[in-house]
């Protein structure tokens, strides 16, 4: 199991607003900001998102390599997948694929995929066999 993921973003304020709107339907919130000067030399400032007392998704200013990451966020239902997809599109994402069964993986794999403003591929996933 992963503990955390960092992605570099080109415009921190824009990305915070995008992820606050996009992740809200999944119950993931902007939970913590970390001042890089409190870490070792050269540590970046971080903007953390999480749920249920865990902060696991972090934004940091830096060089964007959007094609270098694909991030899948767990949804608790098909409805949450639909809501996160709609929120992401409204917040400025571009669609990769609309909500629906991903038959190439499993007929019970329901997901939607978008690209964030920096080009990162985001997927909102509900796998009924994992719930």
Number of residues that make up the chain: 131
pTM for the full predicted model: 0.94
pLDDT in 10s for each residue of the chain, 131 residues? 789 999 999 999 999 999 999 999 999 999 999 999 999 999 999 999 999 999 999 999 999 998 999 999 999 999 999 999 999 999 999 999 999 999 999 999 999 999 999 999 999 999 999 87
Q: Which structural domains are found in the chain, ordered by start? A: 5-130 (3.10.180.10)
pLDDT at 130: 87
Sign of CA dihedral 82, 83, 87, 88: negative
């Amino acid at each position: 199991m992963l503990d955390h993921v960092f992605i570099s973003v080109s415009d921190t304020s824009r990305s915070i607003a995008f992820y606050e709107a996009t992740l809200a339907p999944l119950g993931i919130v902007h939970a913590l900001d970390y001042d890089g000067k409190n870490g070792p030399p050269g540590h970046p400032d971080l903007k953390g998102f999480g749920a249920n007392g865990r902060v696991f998704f972090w934004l940091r200013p830096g060089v964007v390599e959007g094609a270098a990451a694909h991030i899948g966020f767990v949804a608790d239902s098909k409805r949450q997948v639909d809501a996160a997809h709609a929120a992401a599109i409204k917040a400025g994402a571009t669609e990769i694929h609309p909500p629906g069964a991903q038959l190439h993986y499993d007929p019970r794999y329901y997901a939607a995929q978008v690209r964030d403003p920096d080009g990162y591929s985001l997927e909102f996933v509900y796998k009924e066999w994992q719930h």
